[in-house]
Amino acid sequence: MNGEMSVIVRTITRFVYGLIVVFGFYVIMHGHLTPGGGFQGGAVVATAFALLIVAFGAAGLKGKLNDHLLQSLEEVGALAFLVLGFIGIGTAFFYNIIANSGAVFGSPTPIGPNPGFLNTGGTLPWMNWAVGLKVMTGLASVVLVMLVGAREEEET
Amino acid sequence: MKKAVVFSAFLFVAAFLILAGAQMRPFGAPTSPLMDDYFINHAQAEVSANNVVTSIVFDYRGFDTLGEATVLFSAVVGVLALFRKLREDER
Amino acid sequence: MMIGNFPYIVAMLLVAIGIYALLFKRNLIKLVIGISLVETGVNLFLVTLGYRTAGIAPIYTYAPNAKPMVLPTPQALTLTSIVIGLATTALLLSFVVFIYRHYGTLNVREIKELRG
């Protein structure tokens, strides 16, 4: 027994997995324009990881998804968030120094209701990506470790 | 007997909570929204983002989010440490 | 006035149901469910506090003109609270898994009697 589910679940997982990941990245990327953000998009992508683990079993993903890589990526996300907070330390902690400066994501946004422009927001999109990376890898490693631990206990 | 005492205490607390909810200020009329009005009116000019909630989470109250990220990180590390310890014990 | 405050009463009912589960249930999984219910009630209460009559979400993308926006700060704090609740629930559930492995039961009474 290697923890795989039936062929129906595996086939539908192959179809849906990519769609869930793309939707999660969309939610992270448009976090400063539409409802959503790093936390929500990261949770959506972690759902895709959980679906993979449930459908294929932890043994089937042994070589493809190791928890050391996931934890390293989580620490990278946390450090990136901290560094982005320290960028504006000249004025204040978490000061948005990129906004309205003309750099990447730095063009000013029109006041009032508008269609939404992706190249605005200053440090907000960068922080969304950092927090999204942190949340998705953190939740995925929690799900992976909990399921693998429970399965090992059953077998022994 | 003990259960009856605990149940009456629970009834007291629940009645207090529900009466307090019924006696609160009317729904839909915040009492002092000065800070939130400032955020709503100035977020687009200062942070240049359309989503006011995101600009509060990551800019105006970024320190709060940093603490939250710390809590999330320590919870994940706690789960990983628990399961890893068991795995090494069994070998 | 009663009907107008109905959302507050619903949030408080959720908190009361969670406290009931915490006080009268002996199963550890049910205790975790009670803690999540209290969390959900508090989150609902926070979001409810920031509502304005006929308000829209505080997002300017394709927003209708000249409508009041609901208060954004309680929503931001609720976002924080939800993620913390998720992490705490994961930690609690892994503790429950370990307690079940060690004692072979989830009943709080029996765990107290076993003591070892």
- Residues C26 and C107: beta-carbon distance below 8 Å: yes
Do residue C86 and residue A43 have CB atoms under 8 angstroms apart?
yes
Look at residue B29 in the predicted model and tell me its pLDDT: 85
| Structure token digits, residue A59 | 């043994």
- The conformation of residue C107, written as its DSSP 8-state character, comes to B
**C1, part of any domain:** no
Look at residue C3 in the predicted model and tell me its pLDDT: 64
Chain A residues whose beta carbon lies within 8 Å of the beta carbon of residue B63: 93-94
- The residues that bridge with C61 in the sheet, in sequence order, are A114
Residue in B59, A60, B33 with CA at minimum distance from that of residue C69 = B33
**C86, part of any domain:** yes
Nearest CA in chain B to A129: B58
Complex ipTM above 0.85?
Answer: no
- Residues A58 and A3: beta-carbon distance below 8 Å: yes
Nearest-CA distance from C66 to chain A in Å? 10
A153 contacts chain C (CB < 8 A): yes
Look at residue A1 in the predicted model and tell me its pLDDT: 44
Closest partner CB to C9 (pick from B18, B76, B78): B18
Q: Name the residue ranges covered by the structural domains of chain B.
A: 2-90
- The residues that bridge with C107 in the sheet, in sequence order, are C27
Model pLDDT for residues A71-107, shown as the tens digit of each residue: 899 999 999 999 998 888 888 888 888 887 777 888 8
**C110, part of any domain:** yes
Residue C2 has pLDDT above 70, yes or no: no
Chain B residues whose beta carbon lies within 8 Å of the beta carbon of residue A94: 58-59, 62-63, 66
Do residue C72 and residue B39 have CB atoms under 8 angstroms apart?
yes
Q: Residue A144 carries which side chain, given as an amino acid letter?
A: L
Nearest CA in chain A to C64: A113
Look at residue B89 in the predicted model and tell me its pLDDT: 57
Full residue range of the structural domain in which residue C88 is found = 6-114
What residues contact residue C74 under an 8 Å CB cut-off, 6+ apart? C46, C47, C49, C50
3-state secondary structure of A61: coil
Return the CATH number at C50: 1.10.287.3510
Closest partner CB to A35 (pick from C59, C63, C86): C59
Distance, in Å, from the CA atom of A48 to the CA atom of B64, rounded to the nearest integer, reads 28
Closest partner CB to C84 (pick from B29, B68, B78): B68
**C26, part of any domain:** yes
Model pLDDT for residues B61-80, shown as the tens digit of each residue: 888 999 999 999 999 989 98
A149 contacts chain C (CB < 8 A): yes
Model pLDDT for residues C61-73, shown as the tens digit of each residue: 888 887 889 999 9
Do residue C63 and residue A153 have CB atoms under 8 angstroms apart?
no
Q: Name the residue ranges covered by the structural domains of chain A.
A: 7-155
Nearest-CA distance from C75 to chain A in Å? 11
pLDDT averages per 10-residue partition of chain B, 91 residues: 91 93 87 90 87 90 90 90 67 48
- Residues B74 and A139: beta-carbon distance below 8 Å: no
**C103, part of any domain:** yes
At which residue do the structure tokens 């000019």 appear? B45
Nearest CA in chain B to A78: B69
B78 contacts chain C (CB < 8 A): yes
User: What is the mean pLDDT of the segment spanning C25-47?
Assistant: 94
Closest partner CB to B68 (pick from C71, C80, C90): C80
The domain tally of chain C equals: 1
